[in-house]
Amino acid sequence: MQVNSRDFFLFLSKNKTLNRAAQSWGGGIASGKIVGGIDFPSSVKFIKELNEEGLSVTVDHLGEFVTSESVAKERTEECIQTIETIAAQKINSQVSLKLTSLGLDINDQLVYENMTKILDTAEKHQIMVTIDMEDEQRCQKTLDIFKDFKQSYNYISTVLQAYLYRTAKDIDDLNEYHPSLRLVKGAYKESADVAFPEKSDVDDNFKKIINMHLLNGNFTAIATHDDEIIEYTKRLVDKHNIPKNQFEFQMLYGMRTTTQKELVKDGYNMRVYIPYGQDWYGYFMRRLAERPANLAFVLKGMTKK
């Protein structure tokens, strides 16, 4: 059996022993490079640096494998505290979260209670909360929860993944809610039963859903490091006179930093996704799965302070 590097890093991303070991190392390896810091206060200086350069931010408290109710509640409190700090310090940042960190795998009542508390705080401060999309098994449930909350809250958004066959239909189904959506290629290992195995098909579907959501008149965050997709979007918005406040580009912290600044210089809205927290390991492994070259500059940083 042949194992490629993507499969290898995705396999490692789920290893609980390595995840625990990484927590005890602290965030030193990745801090200020591809993650903020081990907590929100230590990430604020990196966020403010980006804000000063005209980039907006979304922060995500990293957390994988949450199976305990008390941890899910801690994660909820952390998220609320983060929103309060963003508002108090007038930081240009939104919040992203994963429903599994709030108890999605534990019970529905818990995740609804936790989301309600977070969204009440977000609504009070008018700070957008985006529900990241996790693996395909959790996609329908995530969208059901999104739709339930979208009926009573404005400051909520979610993510759709171009690699799933279902996504064009999800764009259609969600349209009645006029949702703000982040569109991505998709980061998890999925079977050919549910996702396009070929990268070229994923890219074609990505363009298709960007086109659909923008032409439906909805706010669209195009989250990619791929120049071809970025150029496609620029041509599309020019052709249809789509205003700059109806879309933004998003990239991950530490990736393509020159391109991020160039997009701002050219007048586009650019948002940087900054993860922070002790649980940086799984996130780091998924980035390596996408692009092993991501390891090079992090390793360089280990020897150079």
Which CB sits closer to ligand FDA, 84 or 255?
A: 255
Cβ–Cβ under 8 Å, residues 205 and 167? yes
Question: What DSSP designation does 155 have?
Answer: S
Residues with Cβ < 8 Å from 54, sequence gap 6 or more? 261, 264, 270
Give the pair of three-digit tokens for residue 123. Answer: 């609504």
Sign of CA dihedral 85, 87, 91, 92: positive
Tell me the β-bridge partners of 93: 57
Contact 114, 149 (CB under 8 A): no
Is 225 annotated among the ligand-binding residues? yes
Shortest Cβ distance from residue 241 to ligand FDA (Å)? 25
Interface with ligand FDA, residue 281, by CB under 6 A: no
Q: Which residue has the tokens 């990293």?
A: 62
Paired tokens of 246: 């109806």
Contact between 225 and ligand FDA by CB under 6 A: the answer reads yes
Nearer to ligand FDA, 234 or 291 (CB): 291
The answer to whether the CB of 213 falls within 8 A of the CB of 220 is: yes
Q: Is 199 annotated as a binding residue?
A: yes
Please indicate if the annotation marks 195 as binding a ligand.
no
226 is a catalytic site residue: no
Phi, then psi, of 197 in degrees rounded to 5:
-75, -25
Q: Is 286 annotated as a binding residue?
A: yes
Active site residue 271: no
Q: Binding string, 243-262, against ligand FDA, x = CB under 6 A? A: -------xxx--xx------
Distance of CA 6 to the CA centre of its chain: 19
**From the CB of 126, what's the least distance to ligand FDA, in Å?**
21
The site that binds ligand FDA (CB under 6 A) totals a number of residues, namely: 22
Q: Does 291 bind ligand FDA (CB under 6 A)?
A: yes
The single residue among 132, 136, 170, 248 that binds ligand FDA, judged by CB under 6 A, is: 132
Would you say 224 is a known binding-site residue? yes
> What is the DSSP code string of 8-34?
HHHHHHT-HHHHHHHHHH-STTTBTTT
* Residue 115 marked ligand-binding: no
Q: How far is the CB of 159 from ligand FDA (least distance, A)?
A: 4
In the set 60, 75, 170, 182, the catalytic residue is: 182
For position 61 contacting ligand FDA by CB under 6 A, the verdict is no
Site string for ligand FDA, 133-162 (x = CB under 6 A): x-------------------------x-x-
d(CA 260, CA 264): 7
CB-CB neighbours of 259 under 10 Å: 15
Which residues within the stretch 163-222 sit at the binding site for ligand FDA (CB under 6 A)?
A: 184-188
User: Residues interacting with ligand FDA, by CB under 6 A?
Assistant: 132-133, 159, 161, 184-188, 223-226, 250-252, 255-256, 273, 290-291, 294
Catalytic residues: 132, 182
